[in-house]
């Protein structure tokens, strides 16, 4: 998997090291373990998926490349959509602290079980509505979203630190998604639209 990521253009050593430190098969059903290291998304139940390794690596690479990012890694990060906990485990290797919020109780509990054996003291799992972010942990040096809507919720931007970066999929009028990068400076926000992606829809509420 790491060789494939590097061959695909992933040149960030911290990202490759973090990806190599987390066993992806640990986060999928045993029947799918033989596909765990392929560059594909896989079902994790509840109508959700675990993102492709290349997409996880790309989004974390973008966070690390933020204009205000520290040279020794990220500070506090918020993940919207814990899913099975895989991306949170990777983030834990490049960030000082990770807050990860999930709106589906079944997935929240599954992520908790998946992460328990890894003993990641810097990962905090929250059951709640990701559309609201998590104000108690703000401000964040980075915010990553694993679901895409028509717009980025205002709460996420408000919880982003000066010098911080937000990376999220956003859908256009036709429903096609692209990665949106939002940087916050003392002067305000700047946006960049990058490559096409495909994520599950962003939803409000808990279930």
Active site residues: 51
C-alpha span between 44 and 46 (Å, rounded)? 7
Residue written as token pair 């639209």? 193
Single out the residue of 25, 146, 20 nearest to residue 77, CA to CA: 146
Q: What is the DSSP letter of 132?
A: G
User: Hey, how many other C-beta atoms are within 10 angstroms of the C-beta on 112?
Assistant: 15
| Residue 73 neighbours by CB under 8 Å, 6+ apart | 14, 64, 94, 95, 96
Structure-token pair, residue 123: 């990962």
């Amino acid at each position: 998997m790491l060789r494939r990521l590097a061959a695909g253009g992933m040149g960030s050593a911290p990202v490759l090291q973090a990806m190599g430190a987390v066993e992806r098969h640990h986060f999928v059903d045993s029947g799918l373990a033989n596909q765990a290291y392929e560059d594909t998304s896989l079902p994790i139940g509840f109508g959700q998926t675990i993102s492709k390794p290349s997409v996880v690596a790309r989004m974390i690479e973008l966070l690390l490349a933020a204009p205000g990012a520290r040279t020794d890694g990220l500070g506090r990060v918020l993940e919207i959509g814990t899913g099975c906990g895989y991306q949170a485990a990777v983030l834990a290797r490049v960030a000082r602290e990770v807050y990860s919020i999930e709106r589906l109780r079944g997935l929240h509990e599954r992520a908790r079980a998946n992460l328990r054996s890894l003993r990641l003291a810097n990962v905090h799992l929250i059951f709640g509505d990701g559309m609201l972010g998590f104000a108690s942990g703000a401000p964040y040096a980075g915010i990553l979203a694993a679901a895409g809507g028509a717009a980025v919720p205002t709460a996420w931007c408000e919880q982003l630190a000066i010098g911080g970066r937000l990376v999220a999929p956003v859908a256009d009028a036709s429903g096609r998604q692209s990665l949106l990068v939002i940087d916050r400076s003392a002067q305000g926000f700047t946006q960049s639209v990058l490559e096409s992606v495909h994520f599950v829809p962003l939803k409000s509420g808990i279930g």
